Amino acid sequence: MPKGPEPKVYINGKLVARVEATVSVYDHGLLYGDGVFEGIRVYGGKVFRLREHVDRLFDSARSIYLDIPLSREEMAEAITSTVKANAKQNGYIRVVVTRGAGSLGLDPRKTTDPQVIIIVDDITLYPPELYENGLEIITAATIRNHPNALSPRIKSLNYLNNIMAKVEGVRAGCLEALMLNHKGEVAECTGDNVFLVKHGVLRTPPLDAGILEGVTRNAVLELARAADIPVEEVALTRHDVYTADECFLTGTAAEVIPVVKCDGRVIGTGKPGPVTRQLRERFHQLARE
């Protein structure tokens, strides 16, 4: 199979070949995970919910005292122009802003020149058959970071909390793992938000459960309300997951994927349910539009 053209990566206003896309080893994004990012989808050559993603990127940056050297409008233009330069019709965008290079030590005042990086490429998070047959997950022993230690609404470059839970899932033979918060409530998975269906009601953890406010999560909530599906943002436990009629996950990379088993318990009929299928189709229609 012939390979496509080499991706062009945006770094600080310049488009460079992938092999030339480099940052300093003294960049605090590398040394300390000091920076923020966004993952965004491209459908039909158009960036999905660009404004929401740019706003969340700037909110994350403001929360960690990081000044992005672009305006929101300039960032949006940089993203769309990088997509066009890569002639990408359907794909994935990773926008990264690092604190910049500096000397060793945590003090952000020792850094200069935040790096703005935009990557446009392909992503496949799960095999296609899992979207039809459903995913099996486990509950990780690693809990979600305490929200009073670090706000889960910040998409920082330090994802070690999620990675450690992901390792647990992979070692158990699962591609995803459920994370609980410090109160033992369901928070989210390592990279996706969680939804349950019980007696026709769509339920998902509220923001104060210690979750990321997912752009795809919000889109699915809007679609459900537009379809007159009752929606509750409410605290959930593992018991709620085990006894749900349906379960599915949402995320920019994952989109909408059903879950049919958790911790060895079959969820519902063990097959993707009607609400999951309906919302997945509505999301695909939204993306196509």
For residue 109, tell me if it sits in a domain: yes
For residue 14, tell me if it sits in a domain: yes
pTM: 0.94
Q: What is the pLDDT of residues 153-199, one digit of tens each?
A: 999 999 999 999 999 999 999 999 999 999 999 999 999 999 999 99
Give the domain-ending residue among 121, 148, 179.
121
For residue 1, tell me if it sits in a domain: no
Give the domain-ending residue among 59, 88, 121.
121
3-state secondary structure the chain: CCCCCCCEEEECCEEEEHHHCCCCCCEHHHHHCCEEEEEEEEECCEECCHHHHHHHHHHHHHHCCCCCCCCHHHHHHHHHHHHHHCCCCCEEEEEEEECCEECCCCCHHHEECCCEEEEEECCCCCCHHHHHHCEEEEECCCCCCCCCCCCCCCCECCCHHHHHHHHHHHHCCCCEEEEECCCCCEEEECCCEEEEEECCEEEECCHHHCCCCCHHHHHHHHHHHHCCCCEEECCCCHHHHHCCCEEEEEECCCEEEEEEEECCEECCCCCCCHHHHHHHHHHHHHHHC
My answer on whether 134 and 271 are in the same domain is yes
For residue 3, tell me if it sits in a domain: no
| The pLDDT of residue 4 | 63
Residue 225's φ and ψ, nearest 5 degrees, are: -65, -35
Total of domains in the chain: 2
| The pLDDT of residue 125 | 85
Domain carrying residue 67: 8-121
Structure tokens at 3: 């390979």
My answer on whether 184 and 112 are in the same domain is no
| The pLDDT of residue 7 | 87
| The pLDDT of residue 114 | 96
Give the residue numbers annotated as catalytic, written as ranges.
155
| The pLDDT of residue 1 | 45
For residue 183, tell me if it sits in a domain: yes
213: domain CATH number is 3.20.10.10
* Residue 94 exposure: Cα atoms within 13 Å on the Cβ side: 13
**CA 255/CA 283 separation, integer angstroms:** 8
Total Cβ atoms within 10 A of residue 162: 20
Q: How does pLDDT run along the chain (289 residues), one tens digit per residue?
A: 456 678 899 999 999 999 999 999 999 999 999 999 999 999 999 999 999 999 999 999 999 999 999 999 999 999 999 999 999 999 999 999 999 999 999 999 999 899 999 999 998 889 999 999 999 999 999 999 999 999 999 999 999 999 999 999 999 999 999 999 999 999 999 999 999 999 999 999 999 999 999 999 999 999 999 999 999 999 999 999 999 999 999 999 999 999 999 999 999 999 999 999 999 999 999 998 8
Total Cβ atoms within 10 A of residue 231: 16
65: domain CATH number is 3.30.470.10
For residue 2, tell me if it sits in a domain: no
